[in-house]
Amino acid sequence: MAKFLVNGGRALEGEISVSGSKNASLPALAASLLFSDAPPLFQNLPEIEDIKRMKELLQSQKDGRFDYEVAKKIRASILAVGPALARFGRSSFPHPGGCVIGARPIDVFFDGWKAMGAIVEKTPPSGKKPGFLAVSKPGFEELGGVHSIPIYEIRAPQGLRGCDFTFRVPSVTGTEGLMMTAVLAQGRTILRNVAEEPEILSLADWLNKNGAKIGGAGTHTITIEGRGGKLLSGQVPFLAPPDRIEAGSLAILGAIAAKKMTIKNFPENELTALLGVLKTARAEFEITHHDHSLFPSITLKRATKLRAVNVQTKEYPGFATDLQAPYTVLATQAEGVSMIHETIFEGRLNYVEDLNKIGARINLCDPHRAIVHGPSNLTGWNLEGPDIRAGLAFLIAALVARGESQIGNIYQIDRGHEKIDARLRALGADIKRMEA
8 Å CB contact between 174 and 112: yes
Instruction: Tell whether 22 is in a known binding site.
Output: yes
Chosen residue from 388, 390, 407, 420 binding ligand EPZ by CB under 6 A: 388
Task: Decide if residue 107 touches ligand EPZ (CB under 6 A).
Answer: yes
Instruction: Count other C-beta atoms under 10 Å from residue 218's C-beta.
Output: 18
Which DSSP state fits 42? E
Residue closer to ligand EPZ, measured from CB, 47 or 107 = 107
- Which residue from 316, 261, 205, 194 is spatially nearest to 428, judged by alpha carbons? 261
Task: Decide if residue 171 touches ligand EPZ (CB under 6 A).
Answer: yes
- Exposure of 47 by Cβ count < 10 A (0-12 exposed, 13-18 middle, 19+ buried)? exposed
8 Å CB contact between 17 and 266: no
**Residue positions annotated with a catalytic role:** 99
- Which residue from 307, 321, 328, 406 is spatially nearest to 370, judged by alpha carbons? 328
Site string for ligand EPZ, 52-81 (x = CB under 6 A): -----------------------xx-----
* Cα angle: 298, vertex 299, 303; to 5 degrees: 125
Residue closer to ligand EPZ, measured from CB, 108 or 253 = 108
Stretch of residues binding ligand EPZ (CB under 6 A), selected from 63-71, 100-108, 211-219, 233-241: 100-108
d(CA 287, CA 215): 32
d(CA 175, CA 177): 6
Task: Decide if residue 177 touches ligand EPZ (CB under 6 A).
Answer: no
Chosen residue from 321, 328, 338, 405 binding ligand EPZ by CB under 6 A: 321
Q: How far is the CB of 291 from ligand EPZ (least distance, A)?
A: 32
**Residue count at the site for ligand EPZ (CB under 6 A)?**
27
Q: How far is the CB of 152 from ligand EPZ (least distance, A)?
A: 13
Task: Decide if residue 150 touches ligand EPZ (CB under 6 A).
Answer: no
Task: Decide if residue 368 touches ligand EPZ (CB under 6 A).
Answer: no
Per DSSP, which regions of 231-335 are E strands? 238-239, 258-264, 284-288, 297-301, 311-312
Residue closer to ligand EPZ, measured from CB, 83 or 416 = 416
Q: How far is the CB of 320 from ligand EPZ (least distance, A)?
A: 6
d(CA 241, CA 239): 6
Q: Residue 85 is which amino acid?
A: L
Task: Decide if residue 26 touches ligand EPZ (CB under 6 A).
Answer: yes
Residue closer to ligand EPZ, measured from CB, 99 or 352 = 99
8 Å CB contact between 46 and 247: no
- Give the interface with ligand EPZ as residue ranges (CB under 6 A): 22-23, 26, 75-76, 99, 102-109, 169, 171-174, 195, 321-322, 344-345, 388-389, 416
